[in-house]
Amino acid sequence: MSAPLVNRTAPAAAERPTYQWEVAGSGAAATLRLYGVLGARELALVVETITDRARSPRDVVSVDFSGVAHLDFRALPEFAQRVARHRHRGASIWFVGLSPYLRRLFDVAGQGAAVRQVTWETEESGRRAEPVRPFFAGGGGGVTAAWDRWPR
């Protein structure tokens, strides 16, 4: 007789939590920190958690993806649509901490534009805070001259 593949007396390895809430201070957004590899089940749980916690249009929720290693791109279209739907009906939801890899996964899933609308960019990130084509493109003349050079 062969030995069983699973030792039933050994304690099960503890899974890391999918998410953790951080309480908002006065005037600050509540933060939902996400962890690990998130599939369709975990992303549905995240949306349900946001829906339960943030009901008022005055609520601001920050969803932090900095602890996420991978997202199932097949589940991202439904996730992005449900977040956008809740954003239009309820709280203000912002995504923070998206790595370039996670951004590309949203792009592959066809949700890049929707996610860019809800992504909060800090000044420390590598993205530009000013427009890509600024009004003042060199030379003098002030705002009026810059407006005249602006392509129409």
Q: What is the pLDDT along the chain (152 residues), one digit of tens a residue?
A: 555 554 555 444 445 678 899 887 766 789 999 999 999 999 999 999 999 988 888 889 999 999 999 999 999 999 999 999 988 887 889 999 999 999 999 999 999 999 999 998 766 655 544 433 444 445 555 555 555 555 55
Question: What integer pLDDT is reported at residue 23 of this predicted model?
Answer: 81
Beta strands in the chain (DSSP E): 19-22, 30-38, 60-71, 92-96
Question: What integer pLDDT is reported at residue 57 of this predicted model?
Answer: 85
Residue type, position 39, single letter: G
CATH for the stretch 19-121: 3.30.750.24
Question: What integer pLDDT is reported at residue 130 of this predicted model?
Answer: 41
Question: What integer pLDDT is reported at residue 94 of this predicted model?
Answer: 93
Residues 6+ apart with CB under 8 A from 3: none
Cα 151 from chain centre: 33
Domain boundaries, the chain: 19-121
Question: What integer pLDDT is reported at residue 7 of this predicted model?
Answer: 52
